[in-house]
Amino acid sequence: MAARSVSPGGALLRASRMFALPSPIPPPPNDSSAGTNFNSDTATLAFPTHQVITTLSSSRKQGDWGLKRPLPLKSTTKSSNPMLRVKAIDTIEQITDYSSATDHGITLRKFQELGMPLSARRPASGDMKDTTSTMNLPQKSVFEESFDMTDIHPDKRAEAMDSRWKFTGPWLAGMTQGEFNKWLAKHVRPKRPEFRQFLKKKIASELHAAAAKEALDKGLEQPALMDASAVTEDQLIDYLRKLRHDNQALYDMVGQFLDLAPLAPPTVSQTGLPKEKVSTLTFNEMKNPYAERGPPITHPSAGLSYLRTSMYMENHPIYGPQKHHTPVVARVLRPRRQAQAAAARLGVAGFVVNTPLGDTGFNSRSGHAVFDKIDPTVEGGAKVWVQAQRASVDSSGRVVLTVNDTTREAQLVAQELLGEAVCLGVQPAENEMNKRESASDIRQRYRAADSPAMSSAQDYGLRE
């Protein structure tokens, strides 16, 4: 219906790439707060900021990407994965600014190949390290109704505090002192009269509730709704004095007014309980999954996966349902250096991943594993088989994957599927397509054959 009301020119514009391309999102912050100024401005960003566009092969041959002008064939037709990001459709030099986007495009494909759901509670990264007591706690999908509330009535926003992931106010625990001071001066102080009005409304509703209860007790008629303007200044000052002595109530009011992101409950030193107990308690009692490490900057799934659970079985055509998901090959990005107490870093599906905690092969003391050394003779670098365990998006938009050791059987089955291993003594079928023949092999084969390889006039009986 809506499309019909648009003029033909308007419809054409709407369908064009010019309008279909969303404006780019801000890049991930580089960690100047971590004290490191070592970075590269050309490194692959932790998440894509521009829309990735693609085109059909026939159009690509003509340079047609649906943009204002055809793109150069030399740089766009060679890749086997046509993916581009357009930084500017038109510049003052009258060119289209584009670059290859295979880095993020292929990463998305690889991630989807893992078949992982994204969970709400993010595992450790950066400063917040996972421990053996927290690593195996159960996770919930980001698409659970209790977490994934986006369409909320403006009056019910305070009630839905624990099930939201988007807040207009900041997450106080993630601010530095300087940022906090600036925020106070710039955003909070000008709101003083508004806050007084907000409190007056609260007082009015509280007074009304009290009056209504009394009326109900006495069997009288319900009083009319009280207006905020009826609250006197004295009442407000009294209420403010009361609030000042009740930290929790004050924080609730301020948090509700500024729409602050929730904060984590008390820590070990405040409760005096053992550490493990507190971490488990925090896990069970904390209603909002983002209170501990900050709310995410996007939807907590980041659009990477729409699966809700990993509780499904993979079926093998010969061996039947598999206990484990298919393991994947991880690249050893940095070897483990025991002298520097530096753990190995793995790359799974293009994401940098920590080695698993606890009693795994990655934590054995012997320094003779693949991830303990760099062997320049190994083509393509050292790789290990791992089992992707869970994934989630952290508050800065990075995807944090957790991997574990794979079992021997799962690895063997996966390797057999790739043709790298043999199960149950069955030789892999000789595949004509995969067989590699050198030029001399082919020549010999043709020489050894009885009949001539190439047909000649003689074969057709044309010449004696």
Partner 1 sequence: MSCRQWLSSAARQCQSALAQQQPRTFSTSAPVAATRSLFHDNTLSSTTPNSRRPRASSANPSEALHGLLTDGLERGGPLSAEQQREVMEQQQGGARAYVRDLRTNATTENYVRQMPRRWRIGELYAPRDLTPAEMKKWRQGRRPNKDVVDMLGFSPLDNYRNFSLISEFMTTMGRIKHSDDTGLRPVNQRKMAKAIRRAVGMGLHPSVHRHPEILRLSRHGLPTSAIPTPSDPSQNRL
Stretch near partner 1 under the rule CB under 8 A, chosen from 123-131, 218-226, 410-418, 451-459: 123-131
Q: Smaller CB distance to partner 1: residue 45 or 210? A: 45
Tokens found for residue 15 = 């369908």
Distances (CA, A) of 317 to 313, 417, 427: 13, 10, 17
User: Using the rule CB under 8 A, which residue among 373, 407, 415, 423 binds partner 1?
Assistant: 373
Residues 152-191, one symbol each (x = binds partner 1 by CB under 8 A, - = not), give ------------------------xxxxxxx---------
Minimum distance from residue 271 beta carbon to partner 1 (Å)? 25
Q: Smaller CB distance to partner 1: residue 340 or 431? A: 340
Query: Per rule CB under 8 A, is residue 394 in the interface with partner 1?
Result: yes
Burial of 423 (0-12, 13-18, 19+ CB in 10 A): middle
Tokens found for residue 49 = 């900021």
Minimum distance from residue 432 beta carbon to partner 1 (Å)? 31
Stretch near partner 1 under the rule CB under 8 A, chosen from 237-245, 320-328, 369-377, 404-412: 369-377
Minimum distance from residue 297 beta carbon to partner 1 (Å)? 13
Stretch near partner 1 under the rule CB under 8 A, chosen from 225-233, 311-319, 372-380, 420-428: 372-380
Minimum distance from residue 363 beta carbon to partner 1 (Å)? 17
User: Using the rule CB under 8 A, which residue among 190, 219, 376, 461 binds partner 1?
Assistant: 376
Distances (CA, A) of 376 to 329, 379, 382: 19, 7, 9
Distances (CA, A) of 425 to 1, 290, 421, 428: 64, 51, 10, 9
Backbone angles phi, psi at 120, to 5 degrees: -75, -45
Report the C-alpha gap between 423 and 458 in whole angstroms.
50
Query: Per rule CB under 8 A, is residue 398 in the interface with partner 1?
Result: yes
Report the C-alpha gap between 342 and 405 in whole angstroms.
19
Q: Smaller CB distance to partner 1: residue 245 or 368? A: 368
| Stretch 309-348 residues interacting with partner 1 (CB under 8 A) | 333-335, 337, 345, 347
Mark out the alpha helices in 144-274 (DSSP H runs): 177-183, 192-218, 233-244, 247-258, 268-271
Query: Per rule CB under 8 A, is residue 119 in the interface with partner 1?
Result: no
| Stretch 34-63 residues interacting with partner 1 (CB under 8 A) | 36-47
Query: Per rule CB under 8 A, is residue 375 in the interface with partner 1?
Result: yes
Evaluate whether 322 touches 413 at the Cβ level (below 8 Å).
yes
Residue count (the chain): 464
Q: Smaller CB distance to partner 1: residue 115 or 347? A: 347
Query: Per rule CB under 8 A, is residue 103 in the interface with partner 1?
Result: yes
Query: Per rule CB under 8 A, is residue 351 in the interface with partner 1?
Result: yes
Minimum distance from residue 124 beta carbon to partner 1 (Å)? 7
Place of tokens 């393509």: 380
Cβ count within 10 A of residue 55? 20
Backbone CA torsion sign across 186, 191, 193, 195: negative
Evaluate whether 89 touches 280 at the Cβ level (below 8 Å).
no
Distances (CA, A) of 209 to 204, 232, 246, 251, 368: 9, 17, 21, 22, 72
Interface residues toward partner 1, by CB under 8 A: 30-33, 36-47, 102-104, 106-107, 124-126, 176-182, 333-335, 337, 345, 347, 350-354, 372-376, 394, 396, 398-401
